[in-house]
Amino acid sequence: MNSCQNRKLKIDIKNVNKSYNEVEVLKNISINVYEGEIVSILGPSGCGKSTIFNIISNLIDYDSGKINIDGKLSYMYQKDLLLPHKNIIDNVSLPLTLIKEKSHKNKFLKKKEARKKVEKYFDIFGLTGYENKYPSELSGGMKQRANFLRTFVNSNDIMLLDEPFGALDSITKASMQKWLLEVKSKVNSTILLITHDIDEAINLSDRIYVISKKPATIKDEFIIDKKYCNDDNLEKIIKLKKDIISLL
Ligand SMILES: Nc1ncnc2c1ncn2[C@@H]1O[C@H](COP(=O)(O)OP(=O)(O)OP(=O)(O)O)[C@@H](O)[C@H]1O
């Protein structure tokens, strides 16, 4: 029995195919994500992971298949894309000043209102004290926290994270993964994550889709039992890693 059975399906991708100029990139890709899950797409470099995200977020067309998205998407890139001349609170609240929100009677929010709306999240996201700092004053990890919060402010419903910690060193990466799980325990966002880091996929995900090199096909799906993800179960984790590596 699948524990997702009674949950809302937020992302439903069925048999999607995509070619660029006759070169097949995605072959029969089917992925689903239920409300509140963290699901990873794990695959080798250049296999088509970003293409999947660009299709989900309607940035590019696909050739055949079906996609249903139930909710509002936000998309976080590996690069932080914070504006250097704006402080962190203004960077984070930027989406609210750029997008007309139904909940605000279709108005753009003024800078002051937008700041007020986001400041309550600085604590949950471990950014208290950084509101008035500029991106150049932040470490790589802190910049990615701000980047993640800005993505969350854009939409906390369905979040697409494209290698969010890919540019960080391994120690910062490990602490950011822990941080992400802590934040996730306080918010109920649905997260689809791209990574080529097997440990990251295991640490963060409820489920992992392993995809092959180009043309990308789904090789297998793994359900991660979070209670195994600790040092007492190293053997189980090593076996899982071996199983995943054998597919890549
Ligand atoms: N607009 C495009 N036109 C032609 N080919 C493209 C285009 N965008 C991507 N590709 C090709 O499609 C393949 C998949 O690219 P994509 O960026 O989706 O892979 P990826 O798995 O996200 O890569 P990485 O892990 O390096 O970020 C690559 O071979 C890439 O060169």
Query: What is the chain's pLDDT, residue by residue, as a tens digit (248 residues)?
Result: 445 567 899 999 999 999 999 899 999 999 999 999 999 999 988 889 999 999 999 999 999 999 999 999 999 987 778 999 999 999 999 988 876 655 555 566 788 888 998 999 999 899 999 999 999 999 999 999 999 999 999 889 999 999 988 888 888 888 889 989 989 988 889 999 999 899 999 999 999 999 999 899 999 999 998 766 666 778 888 888 999 998 88
CB 212 within 8 A of CB 219: yes
Q: State how far the Cα of 188 lies from the Cα of 35, in Å rounded to an integer.
A: 8
Which residue ranges make up each domain of the chain?
1-71+158-248, 83-156
Regarding the beta carbon of 25 and ligand 1, being less than 6 Å apart is answered yes
Q: What is the pTM of this model?
A: 0.88
Q: Which atom of ligand 1 is nearest to the CA of 194?
A: 22
Ligand 1: residue whose CA is nearest its atom 16: 48
Place of tokens 């060193």: 169
- Name the residue among 241, 223, 208 with its Cα closest to residue 43: 208
Class of domain 1-71+158-248: alpha beta
ipTM: 0.94
Residue 238 CA, ligand 1 centroid: distance in Å: 30
Q: Are 228 and 236 in contact (CB under 8 A)?
A: yes
Q: Ligand 1 center to residue 199 CA distance, Å?
A: 23
Query: Which residue's alpha carbon is nearest to atom 23 within ligand 1?
Result: 46
**b/e per residue, 22-45, with b = 16+ CB within 10 A?**
eeebbbebebbbbbbbbbbbbbee
Q: Is 214 in the pocket of ligand 1 (CB under 6 A)?
A: yes
Residue keyed to tokens 């609210």 = 96
- List the one residue out of 7, 27, 19 whose CA is nearest residue 63: 19
